Amino acid sequence: YPGKSKSNKSMPSLDSVKVAVRVRPFSQREKDAGSRCVISMNSGSTSIYDPKNPSHVKTFTFDLAYWSHSGFEKDKDGTLVSAGSNSRYSGQSEVFRDLGQGVLDSAWQGYNATLLAYGQTGSGKSYSMIGYGANRGIIPVVCEELFEVIQNQEKNKQHQVTFSMLEIYNEQVIDLLSKAKKPGGLKVREDQQQGFYVDGLKLVPCDSYAQIERLMEQGTKIRTTASTSMNATSSRSHMVITIQFKQIFLEEDLTKQSIINLVDLAGSERQKSSGSEGDRLREGTRVNLSLTTLGNVISALADVAMGKKVIHIPYRDSVLTKLLQSALGGNSRTIMIAAVSPADICYEETLSTLRYAERYLHIVFMSCKICNNCISLCMLSLSLSLLPEELRCLLAENELRIQTIQVTWEYQLEEARKEWEQQYAAITQERRMMATFPYLVNINEDPQLSGVLKYFIQDGSCDVGQSSSNAITLRGLGILDKHAAFTNIGGKVAITPWDKCKVIVNGVPIAVKTKLQHLDRIILGSNNAYLFIGLPAEHTNEDLTRYDYDFVHSELAAAEGFSVDKLGTAKSKDGKPDPSVLAVFHDYIKLMPLVAEANQMSEELKKDLRLELKVKNLASSDSRGYDLQKEVIVKVTHNVTNQVWVWSKAKFTNRKFLMEELYQRFLDGEDVHIDQDNDPFWDPVEVIHLGSAHIWLQSLAYCMKLEEQTDLLNSDGKEEAIILINIVPCSSNGRTFGEEDMIIDPLELLGKRIDFQIHILQCLGVKWLKEVSERGIQIGYRVYDLPRSLYTKPVWKNMNPKMEETVQFSALSASHEFLTYLQKNALIVDLWGLQGSDTDNQISELYQKLLKLEEETELLRDINRALREENVLLKDTLKKCEIRNHEKTGQMCNYRTSCDAEFAKALKAFYQNMNMVRGQFLKLKHYRPPEDNLKLLRLYTERQSHMLKDFGEQLDSSICKLKNDVALIVKKKRESLANKP
């Protein structure tokens, strides 16, 4: 490299991958949520602790670690610099010195170079790669320094720089320098010599950094427009900038060429497979495929480096890994920068990123693979000097071809200059209009794409919508052909929605003409956010970056009444809100726009689903009264059938990917008919948890009767129904205790048998049934340490259903633990909502048979207990007889021993039989009915009946045999006692 390297740190071996990690400052959302930093860097190591368990610390070691979280200030130019000599802050210049400089070194030496940025959405990947404002990232600085050195080179050298910029989304390649969009994207093809390449990708010759700067602006604008049209944010796509750099040494007849790949990868959370946990459908594979495959390739290469046998490295499984095969396979000097968030609410994603980067660190390339791309015509000419005349002619033809290529290069460069001049004129015109008219500027989830699109509101009236006939043409979910109208009269701007079109101003939906103020936030359609910039006279020095994507959706949530205060401000020891509460708030804000998009897709695809965000366990507590952990869920309701589902955050995210795939096919004009089993908008009906009631059991510890009429509250703390329930202490035979049986000290019950009955009488005013009368309900509860919950029989089509179910529980020997449970715990009674068809009612009948079996099993346990007690009495009797008759003959002793042996034998046979019965019961319990198939259901019912019959016969036979055996032993014993002298 002709210039002097500024790096003060030693470079690793050329044959190994270089991995760096960088931690960013808190985002505004993280600051608002009071987040804590869980990352620390010390002596080259990076550590992260679990906010739920601070003693649990993971430590990683990478080639470079950049602390960019704190210790910085802005200089007069707006550049972030170290705040003092004691600050360990690493800014953009340090990152370029260590990473970008290495890319330039490789390019000048004729080696290929690749720089990958990896991390979760919003972790700072794009900031390190592109930068923001005065804080330019690696890509623009690499390009600028490349041309700076080229301009100072000797005149006997020529340099050719070609620039391309593409995006990979949903396995489609989009050319970001071409305004024409090809359906299905560009194709990736393979050539024996150059490997994989993108067919038809626009390669733009450049002779100055200013040209590259304009090309990047153009590419970013096309990327923003494409993401809006395809309902895809940049967090779901990869951006690849490729610079082909050729050095031609005219005197030496030597050519050096290198390819620089600068890759800003999609958000790393797309790589996780947990999105499909608990879901019958697979993940949105086309959305996740590239990162998943990249992880598989890296794992395979790491295994190779560690000496493991690897049969196949799956480069061909995705577009991204095809294009990066040379970089990943060894013919490139490769650097990865892993960007991480320091916030406790991002702990899981940050830990995942660090583990991924550590895996990448294990890759070591074979030195023979990294090639220096040099071609020497001089050496070729010398080797051919003694060859036949034909080969000399061939050499002359090659030299002529090279001259032709040079002429072609000059022509292409001139054409690129003309296009650049046109773009420059358009940019100049845009700047003039910004100084004259008010306008809208886009707000994107990716800060790099915010402020890219500008829509000017000129004097008079202008319509906005999807139709190209509008003065302002906008694309995106939920934007109709004629969506709204802007008026600009006398410098006063107002917006008027068209009929039923969704327009939100500063978080509040509007339906009539509304006057706009400078810096108002506007959402059009499901999730297209804009900042309104008024006339130049209204402009101030206020920092517009605060009005970002998070600000807009936090404002929208606040307008809907959702805030950290609503979640509950449980304070930790340091006086800050509980991290789990902050995490829920973070998830809620993050999912709001996604739910809005899903609703719009449901409407356009005529799926009749309505999705809404809820917080699970918002006002719920456990049996001790402690708050349950809150989490965000998505409630899904079918507008026609009124069926309801509840999706977890992971399941909704997974379904959202699949919905996008289906919706994209709809936009492309393809057939979107899909069978029910693969439809992301469909699920089988399920049981819904409606609410809970706490019945405190303290009175049982004093043998007092408890009669309750209490509210069943949903997770929001609102009443869903009223339940009438009695809990009554009783004797072993079911006799209810009265006031005379009450005790003063619960310790009086220690070691004694305690019996009580739970009697569920009725539910009143069940809202679930009031909304849809065809539905049903069921009550469930769990007592102490029982391994499973108990349920009442299902009740259908009755808003005030009578249950009249009684279950008796027994503790044979009350322990301290059980008495503490009675005094400090509540019985949690859950209300479950049932929904479905006649088939579901048949299944409910089968369920009742299982319940009956369980009751019979409980009766069997009581019989067992009685037999054990009788056995103890018999043993005591035998022992007393032995003491009274210790002088009786040896024959009598042998006979008594024989009776005991026969009794033990009978008990052993009984327990063996009972094990067989238990096996039959478990088989019945786990024998599940088929879904949605009446024919199979009838077969299932018949089979169930046979099994029930076999079970009853086996149970009766076992008990009858035991009774007969015991009766025979008792008879023999009585006879022996009667014959006693």
**252, containing H or E segment:** none
Identity of residue 708: E
Tell me the three-class secondary structure of 456-471, residue by residue. Answer: ECCCEEEEEECCCCCC
Measured between alpha carbons, how far is 199 from 187 in angstroms, rounded to an integer? 6
Residues 6+ apart with CB under 8 A from 600: 477, 478, 525, 526
Sign of CA dihedral 574, 576, 580, 586: negative
Measured between alpha carbons, how far is 960 from 914 in angstroms, rounded to an integer? 12
For residue 806, give Cα distances in angstroms to 697, 736, 791: 17, 13, 11
Rg (CA), the chain: 38
Residue length, the chain?
981
Query: 């290529």: which residue's tokens?
Result: 405
Measured between alpha carbons, how far is 412 from 420 in angstroms, rounded to an integer? 12
Work out the number of other CB atoms within 10 angstroms of the CB of residue 428: 9
Query: What angle is formed at CA 623 by the lines to CA 618 and CA 627, rounded to 5 degrees?
Result: 30
Binding residues: 119-126
**791, containing H or E segment:** strand 790-791
Measured between alpha carbons, how far is 244 from 203 in angstroms, rounded to an integer? 9
Query: 């009124």: which residue's tokens?
Result: 642
Calculate the CA 210 to chain-centre distance.
40
133: tokens are: 């404002």
433: tokens are: 């209009």
Beta carbons of 704 and 729 less than 8 angstroms apart: yes
502: tokens are: 């969704």
What torsion do the CA atoms of 859, 862, 867, 872 make, to the nearest 10 degrees?
A: 180
Burial class (CB in 10 A: 0-12, 13-18, 19+), 956: exposed
232: tokens are: 């895809």
Q: Is 60 helix (H, G, I), strand (E, B) or coil?
A: strand
Calculate the CA 515 to chain-centre distance.
39
Burial class (CB in 10 A: 0-12, 13-18, 19+), 293: buried
Sign of CA dihedral 185, 190, 194, 195: positive
**473, containing H or E segment:** strand 472-473
**154, containing H or E segment:** none
Calculate the CA 610 to chain-centre distance.
21
Beta carbons of 113 and 331 less than 8 angstroms apart: no
User: What residues are paired with 477 via a beta bridge?
Assistant: none
Measured between alpha carbons, how far is 164 from 169 in angstroms, rounded to an integer? 17
Binding residues for ATP: 119-126
Query: 């930068």: which residue's tokens?
Result: 131
User: What residues are paired with 808 via a beta bridge?
Assistant: 757
In 289-395, which ranges are E strands?
Answer: 333-340, 374-376
Going by the DSSP 8-state scheme, the letter that residue 354 receives in this structure is H
